[in-house]
Chain A
């Protein structure tokens, strides 16, 4: 066989050809470019146009950035140094670095306190964010708010420590005692607590009604609009007057009635006890301890906080408060009890229907009208309450979406295991619902963090407030613009992008479905 063609074929190659490289247009970068950028006339056109714009921006930004002046005392000096060339004036960031981060009124020798508080925040947040870390570290997370409060606001260390001590002591006492008390004793405690709560609520309603009358009278009946408001406030006042005693009795009876499960009575009693202890014992104990062992930092008033620190404080506090509040609201909205459901629905719908900026104006301006001039109800506390309520309403709706997405069988399974409401929620429903809700919650959290810049409207000097107010309007840095806003954007991007990366990591960790 092998000889068959020996004469008919001139040449037979006996070894294999070495593999040739693919044609130059089908490999490497050129192939990628051909396939991705110039695969047709339309894409070619888009590529050319896009390159044109990118090049224009780069040709503008690079000289601006690299010619930047980092050392100058004012924007005029910057221009002298540049001598007409394009260039940024980053000297403003150097000059006002402390102001951008800490605000212009925080005492400079206390900056280390903020830095320490920030580093500790990273340590305190880690065990809450990463479940693989030892659970014992959560103890530090629980302690962190007290430490951070002391570091940032200063004053005596014993004030936050005494608050912490009172809370812990009350918790321990109630845990040890509550199960040992005989039933009739618990019944009596429940009756007493119910009565106190009822009387307290009646009193609050009574004051509220008087306040409504006061507002109505101060509005007067000068025109049609004010007459209407006058009437509305009077109606509300009459309603409150009529109901203040029945409402008090109802609440008191409800608490008395719930003595059997023990939970509500214990919680309410503990809260009342903590409140009383804080009102009557806090100041003497704290100042007494401070007299014996004085550990004090220079006290800083709330209105002296500012800069990016203020955004971080508002963002951290409001996110961590609004998550539990949002869960409670979402569960309340699903509740079968009409009163609880009604309260939650009204709260969520009202807060969601009002712009955040309105709530902030109420916090800043309206409350000042209703309070005596010398009452110094802390401005940051007011703002924290408003932002927390706002984001809690949104988070509640996100979590309600998660709850609604669970198959009904999960609820029925929990019930059929004989779990009570708290256990079925904690062990079965919420872990699944929260997992579904992560992207939505993170969305709200990122939005909330950026919304903290709105406080600049009510003349608080957060990062944006610092830029728009004192820096852009100083004689030295009059009308400096891109450098400061670019810096602000960078800080916010770092934080928001980190949050988003964390949430994606968390989603991957919790992925249990079988795709």
Chain B
């Protein structure tokens, strides 16, 4: 705590709500650190490892932005937020961007005055049941008790689904994923519902995964992506195009292994534009020409980030599915770098 911290308490003048005139980009550069909001922990997406270093799929987005803006993928101050504090932290300016499993919805985009800068994971809400229950479809769940996390969109989706199908259920509200799993294993509820990615990750780590089945119905669209505040479009562009750079890099076959070689110049003009060998894309964003190269070099392209953190080789074990490149039949699609 330095002097200003100490006497902020004593000086009520500190209460003067002075809006910072500088842009977010200038603030971040002056601070030398990116304040990035993450979860307090979601396996594979954001978690501190045994050495206290943040790892994960969402964390990689923060690191890529920091690498693009500050040339240093470790210059990130990770601010853990809960489902209840995440939006106020962003709106109040405590964090510069939020990369925290947040579903892009109309009301969050429009009413809460945020700007979603893309989608880094297409998720959907699914159901997990014990095989012993003998249920093969979510429509057979009439009268079931359902474990569900409170304060999320899953709660509302569940109510909509059961109402639309004219069947009844009894909710068992639960605060965190770990508690929900504990209740489900102990038999406090027949069904556990949350995002399909989380269900798959939890199931893969059960003592006997084969005793439990995911039902085929996916009852909601959950596009998860990073977001920023309204009011600073230049900063929004930087976050959006950093994510797009990771996606485009995978599409064009640029990986953390061959990036040095490719940035020397290739026959593909789009790769050259992406890596800053041609064109003025970096200066249009107010960054150096090799911004996207740094972003990709920080943790690899989208596919590499996916495989390292949540892919099938990891304990989380998620298949690409909807999150494959559009060329492979998925939804991951970046506008062209032109």
List chain A positions with a Cβ less than 8 A from chain B: 74-76, 79, 95-96, 99, 104-106, 153, 204, 207-208, 210-211, 214, 275, 278-279, 282-283, 302-303, 361, 364-365, 368-378, 381, 385, 457-459, 461, 465, 468-476, 478-481
Contact = CB atoms under 8 A, between A and B. Distances in A.
A160 to B, nearest CB: 10
A470 B94 contact: no
Interface stretch (B82-90, B293-301, B327-335): B82-90
Contact of A372 (B18, B84, B88): B18
B14 A377 contact: yes
9 contacts: A99-B48, A302-B1, A373-B20, A472-B177, A473-B42, A479-B177, A479-B178, A480-B178, A481-B182
B315 A74 contact: yes
Nearest to A457: B82
B265 interface: no
Contact of A479 (B10, B39, B202): B202
A76 B9 CA distance: 48
A117 B305 CA distance: 41
B97 to A, nearest CB: 14
B9 A377 contact: yes
A376 B79 CA distance: 14
Given A211-B16, A368-B92, A478 B6 contact: no
B178 A473 contact: yes
Contacts of B89: 365, 368
Top-7 shortest CB links A-B:
A473-B41, A469-B40, A373-B93, A472-B178, A104-B52, A368-B92, A377-B8
A479 B82 CA distance: 18
A378 B5 contact: yes
Contact of B8 (A95, A303, A375, A478): A375
A372 B8 CA distance: 11
Contacts of A474: 41, 43, 47-49
B110 interface: no
B9 A371 contact: no
Nearest to B52: A104
A208 B12 contact: yes
Contact of B17 (A208, A372, A465, A478): A372
A435 to B, nearest CB: 34
Given A283-B3, A459-B82, A469-B40, 8 more contacts: A99-B50, A104-B48, A365-B88, A371-B15, A373-B20, A459-B79, A474-B41, A478-B205
Prevailing SS type, chain A contact patch: helix
B140 interface: no
A282 B314 CA distance: 53
B7 A278 contact: yes
Contact of A470 (B3, B8, B47, B79): B47
Contacts of B82: 457-459
B41 A472 contact: yes
Contacts of A364: 85
Interface residues of B, number: 54
B126 interface: no
B44 A207 contact: no
Contacts of A207: 12-13, 15-16
Contacts of B19: 372
Most A-side CB within 10 Å, residue of B79, B178, B316: B178
Contacts of B7: 278-279
Interface in B34-62: 39-44, 47-50, 52
Contacts of A105: 48, 52
B231 to A, nearest CB: 12
B81 to A, nearest CB: 5
Most A-side CB within 10 Å, residue of B49, B91, B92: B92
Nearest to A95: B50
B282 interface: no
Interface in B274-324: 314-316
A459 B85 contact: yes
Contacts of B42: 473
Interface string B201-223: 11001010000000000000000
A377 B52 CA distance: 25
B15 A211 contact: yes
A75 B15 contact: no
A381 B5 contact: yes
B44 A475 contact: yes
Nearest to A283: B3
A364 B94 CA distance: 10
A377 B182 contact: no
Interface in B85-129: 85, 88-89, 91-94
B258 interface: no
Contacts of A469: 39-41, 80
B40 A470 contact: yes
A302 B8 CA distance: 15
Given A96-B50, A373-B92, A459-B82, A475 B1 contact: no
A212 to B, nearest CB: 11
A383 B205 CA distance: 37
Interface in B236-291: none
B88 A459 contact: no
A416 to B, nearest CB: 42
Contacts of A278: 6-7
B20 A468 contact: no
B181 interface: yes
A301 to B, nearest CB: 9
Nearest to B30: A374
Nearest to A368: B92
Contact of B40 (A96, A211, A275, A473): A473
B4 interface: yes
B176 interface: yes
Interface string B161-186: 00000000000000011100110000
Given A207-B13, A376-B4, A381-B1, A369 B88 contact: yes
Most A-side CB within 10 Å, residue of B81, B177, B205: B205
A302 B79 CA distance: 12
A105 B77 CA distance: 11
Contacts of B48: 99, 104-105, 470, 474
